[in-house]
Amino acid sequence: MAQTASTQLGSNAIAHHDGVASLPAPAPALHHLDNSDEPETKEDDDLTFHDLPSFPADVSTAPLLRLNLARLLNHDAAEEAKLWDACQNVGFFYLDLRGGTSSKRDSVHSDAAALDGDTLLHDAAELFELGREVFELSTEEKQSYDLKDQGSYYGYKGLGQGVVDAKGTRDANEFYNVSKDDVLDIGERLPAPEVLQKESNRELLAAFCRRSHAVVAVMLGVLNEKLGLPEGRLAELHRLEVASGDQVRWVRSPPKPTADAHTMSLGEHTDFGSVTVLFNRLGGLQILPPDSEEWQYVKPLRGHAVVNLGDAMVKFTASVLRSNIHRVVNPPGEQASHTRMSLVYFARPEDEVKLKVLEGSQVIDAKSKELNGGGVLQEEEDVTAKEWILRRAMGRRAGGDWKASEGTEAGRSKLY
């Protein structure tokens, strides 16, 4: 599909893709892609989106580790060590989904029928097209599905209806949130545009939720083992069939004037939940690496998702794991004239799960003692996942309580 300044969508629109105050110990140097990360064929080695302007070579990019789903499914020890490294020290990594398929006999990591990286990439491509249809609806119709006044973060948020800082500076994106519980018929069916009520589209969204959650389960399985938690502990907190704040989000950010090239489309923050799986094609996402004052772009890679941890994993592990600060600005270079579109799956703990340090892990216990100087543990906030997510999400809406939107970035973000 031809690309214009007003769209980045098309059949290939897949990425390849938005308090604990103490932070982990200083991280080791980050790692650029090395030869061991490279695909085996020349065809697979092409990680560029050829129907878009090239990502510029002269901007600072985050040297994230690049993991391979197929190797994780094969219990590759080196790959699992890389995952542990990325989750402790940066909280962000690339995940190559190509060829990542579990045999039906291997149900160790997740639902074998849902665990298919290639099909997930295909689902993402179709959902980019569906997102285009949603955003092409009239502003009046889209606004009718803003459920903020009902105390919900599902549905539509218009341009400038969120804030990016404590001063109330308005954001520069629109998004639409679809509840996992809705499309999997776990909870009530929410008001939605006709295009999202179409059964085939609900089935597509449900399949995307299942496949994304299956990938998340792989990550949780490895982290559970590395943390030394009782078997299946993290999985027990993230059951797909139980009510939670899991959601699919489309985000659309139109081009901004050149003078506003570094205006934030989405303010700096940490994610609210456990694991985020992001698909996009254009630059704009930036992270603030550990022990750095320089924002760095995350370059999209074809065939890959960008995965990051959220606040829940910090709270569960007493900061053994990292939820890193990130933001979204205008795409760099020639990409700036294109509308940026993202597709996200947010995996969050079940609604009634308390966001407290988990018991049964020597790794977590040691970190807790370190943070408390070897003394008595400080009392933790008594908050459920549902309360935490709602508080943070609504605090970022225009007119909301900005202080209530604080996450584990408090004390490090330049906004606090």
Mean pLDDT of the chain: 85
Rounded average pLDDT over 277-295: 91
Cα 76-81-82 angle, rounded to 5 deg: 100
Burial class for 54, CB neighbours closer than 10 Å (0-12, 13-18, 19+): exposed
Structural contact between residues 92 and 62, judged by C-beta atoms closer than 8 angstroms: yes
Per-residue pLDDT tens digits for 112-171: 567 999 999 999 999 999 999 999 999 999 999 999 999 999 999 999 998 888 888 898
Tokens 């800082």, residue located: 165
Q: Specify the pLDDT at position 414.
A: 52
Structural contact between residues 324 and 359, judged by C-beta atoms closer than 8 angstroms: no
How does residue 61 score in pLDDT terms, banded at 50, 70 and 90?
very high
Q: Specify the pLDDT at position 203.
A: 97
Name the amino acid, one letter, at 187. Answer: G
Q: Specify the pLDDT at position 26.
A: 35
**pTM, full prediction:** 0.87
Per-residue pLDDT tens digits for 295-334: 999 999 999 999 999 999 999 999 999 999 999 998 999 9
Tell me how crowded residue 141 is: count the other CB atoms within 10 A of its CB: 12
How does residue 374 score in pLDDT terms, banded at 50, 70 and 90?
low
Q: What are the residues facing 275 on neighbouring strands?
A: 309, 347
DSSP percent split of the chain into helix, strand, coil, nearest 5: 30, 20, 50
Rounded average pLDDT over 76-87: 98
* Half-sphere exposure at residue 248, Cβ-oriented, CA atoms within 13 angstroms: 27
How does residue 35 score in pLDDT terms, banded at 50, 70 and 90?
very low
Q: Specify the pLDDT at position 44.
A: 46
Distance between CA atoms of residues 368 and 370, nearest Å? 5
